[in-house]
Amino acid sequence: MKHSSLFVDEAEIEVQSGAGGDGIVAFRREKYVPKGGPNGGDGGRGGDIVLVADPNVSTLLDFKHSRRIKAPNGQPGGGSDKKGASGDHVEVHVPVGTLVFDVDDELPSAGLEPDASADPDASSEALLAARAVADLTEPGQRVVVARGGIGGLGNARFKTSTRQAPDFATPGKPGESRRLRLSLKLMADVGLVGFPNAGKSTLLRRISAARPRVASYPFTTLVPSLGVVDRDDRRCVVADIPGLIEGASEGAGLGHQFLRHVERTRVLIHLLDVEAMLVEGRDLVSDYDAIRTELGRYRPELLDRREILVLNKCDLIHDESLVEDVLARLGARGLEPIRISAAGAQGIETLLTRMFDAVDAARADEAARAARDAEGEAEAARAARDAEGEAEAARDGEPASR
């Protein structure tokens, strides 16, 4: 389908940095001096390959056909001690949220489960990040993935008191060649999850300027869509995750490709489809449990994510007794779903209020964790300095001063 080809979240590329330019052999030309002093210059450095996280890039589509990226070589040195020009660095712009893996190290795709032998209590996200060459999570973040070769030395470098006219130079060093796998995990504040045709795309269209494809059949959304929601002076990014099915955590229905885009969200909005209950006799509580099961199997920490439960298409309810059982069973678990109609705008303001409050709370938690981590690092640094001072004092035979 043509629409689905516009979003690419996996790509493999080969990068080749530039080789260093050769140093050269040259001598000054002086009248009546057959071979003046050496003045061969050094070669220039080869260009680097640099990945840049660009908020204006949303897909890895550009790498679907352009898989080899090469930086220019450094230029050879010149006479009169002139150094060769260095090769220009090549910047490769990728979406924010791109993980980079070295294929030659046989590292896994970010969509795969971590090694079963790994610590089961460790964060899956942390395990994957540890295996990555780079994790580009901040706009403007840069990482050199292939360094240019160093330029060779000209013969002027080799002149000594006993070797006045060296007639040799060194070649430039080769650049680095690597095969890299790029894997995109969307960076969004909120992820919309639910079974196919639950109305996620319609909701995203309702609350943002995004225009994902909408139709009344399952799997309309084949790729994730992002929308920006503004309210007063607050803003958040919402991701419409393609519909999940049972077995998604094992890869069913492209489950791995879809589920990884949930990992970096702060809040999950879980949509339950009232129409499916009324028309098909679906049990919405079972649907809720099924999606939660898939999330937990894929990444257990997703079950601790802030969640807003939503009953969508409530404009179709003409008899309250039809939803009494569902509401009672959910209420017994302490769950109070928001009732909305994404198509008819019913309940949207209530949902937005809950959504922004949840996102603000999640951001505050992250800031508090960052502050605690920074304080812990500062305390560790102070302890290290104190220990070093005590060790120095012990060597000098004096008590350490506090």
Question: Beta partners for 94?
Answer: 53
- Amino acid (one-letter) located at 178: R
pLDDT of residue 252: 42
Q: Which two tokens stand for residue 391?
A: 């060790």
Nearest to 53 by CA among 9, 10, 96: 96
pLDDT of residue 184: 85
pLDDT of residue 108: 42
Contacts for 156 with CB less than 8 Å, ≥ 6 apart:
37, 38, 39, 40, 41, 81
Which helix H or strand E contains 352, and what residues bound it?
Answer: helix 348-396
Q: Are residues 83 and 169 in contact, defined by beta-carbon separation less than 8 angstroms? A: no
Domain extents in the chain: 3-163+172-184, 190-361
CATH classification (class only), 3-163+172-184: mainly beta
Cα torsion 138, 233, 350, 292 to 10°: value is: 10
Polymer length in residues for the chain:
402
pLDDT of residue 370: 81
DSSP string, 4-66: GGG---EEEEEEEPPPPPPP---B--BTTBSS--B-PPPPPPPPPEEEEEETT---SGGGTT-
pLDDT of residue 334: 95
3-class SS string, 364-378: HHHHHHHHHHHHHHH
Q: For 280-338, write each residue's pLDDT tens digit.
A: 999 999 999 999 998 898 889 999 999 999 999 999 999 999 899 999 999 999 999 99
Write out residues in the chain with pLDDT < 70, as ranges: 1-7, 32-34, 106-130, 210-223, 243-258, 395-402
Q: For 336-358, write each residue's pLDDT tens digit.
A: 999 999 999 999 999 999 999 99
SS3 content of the chain, % helix, strand, coil (to 5): 35, 20, 45
Nearest to 310 by CA among 334, 339, 331, 282: 339
φ, ψ dihedrals at 210, nearest 5°: -65, 150
Q: Are residues 241 and 191 in contact, defined by beta-carbon separation less than 8 angstroms? A: yes
CATH classification (class only), 190-361: alpha beta
